[in-house]
Amino acid sequence: MKNRFSFANCAACYLFSCLLFFGSSAHAGLLRYDIVYNEEHLGHMVFDAQIGALSQNLWTSLVDWTLGWDEVVLDRSNSVAANASSRFFIDAVGNVINDGMEEIICTGSLGCAPELVVTDNPVFEGSDGSSIGFSRSAIAGGMLTVTSANGDVYRGYRPLVYTGPFAVPLPATIWLLVIALYGLGVTRHRAR
């Protein structure tokens, strides 16, 4: 009886520790942002980060993505998140406030023909030579550039919207809680 009681206490302590650790505000969680371009779902990005600081760049905490446009599909298995200086700045509640730097330059010899140049925007490069890059623009609403493996390029300026952030449950958290609850249930059943 003493061993069973000890085990039950141990399981309860383990469960409580898991809840404290994974429920702690100091621990980062997974945040998902869905991306809609011209009212079509472009994909999503997942960051291992915590919302709270104003003007934080989530790009450095990017852990997963699935993006697709015009038969180009890029995810963690076949692409890399390029451009280490990419910007994905959010405010204190998680709204995207800046995902690229833009400037207007004048081109042409007769008069000024403005051209929008966006740098440091999220870019993903596929192992087959394909790529997807996108950025919201204060002028054009959004820019999407997609290069397919055969070199076809789509570049368009259409509305680009980030929906989210949505909290994503950590798989490790779920499994640890399931194991702890199962152990507690088995212990209680045996104690009867």
Residue 13 has what pLDDT? 46
3-state secondary structure of 183: helix
Q: Are the C-beta atoms of residues 133 and 120 closer than 8 Å to each other?
A: no
Q: Which residue has the higher pLDDT, 147 or 11?
A: 147
Residue 38 has what pLDDT? 94
Summary mean pLDDT of the chain: 81
Alpha helices (H) in the chain, listed in sequence order: 2-23, 171-191
Write out pLDDT tens, residues 10-55: 444 444 444 444 443 334 699 999 999 999 999 999 999 999 888 8
Residue 177 has what pLDDT? 54
Percentage of the residues of the chain whose pLDDT score is greater than 70 = 72
Tokens 């760049």 belong to which residue? 57
Q: How far are the Cα atoms of 66, 134, 143, 146 from residue 69, in angstroms, in the given order? A: 11, 11, 13, 7
Between CA 158 and CA 84 the distance in angstroms is 25
Residue 178 has what pLDDT? 58
Residue 154 has what pLDDT? 96
Write out pLDDT tens, residues 156-184: 989 999 998 998 876 655 555 556 666 65
Residue 6 has what pLDDT? 52
Structure confidence at residue 149 as a pLDDT band (50, 70, 90): very high
The beta strands (E) that lie in 91-130 are given as: 96-98, 101-107, 113-119, 123-126
Q: Are the C-beta atoms of residues 41 and 34 closer than 8 Å to each other?
A: yes
Write out pLDDT tens, residues 129-144: 999 999 998 777 899 9
Q: What is the largest CA-CA distance in the chain?
A: 93
Residue 73 has what pLDDT? 97
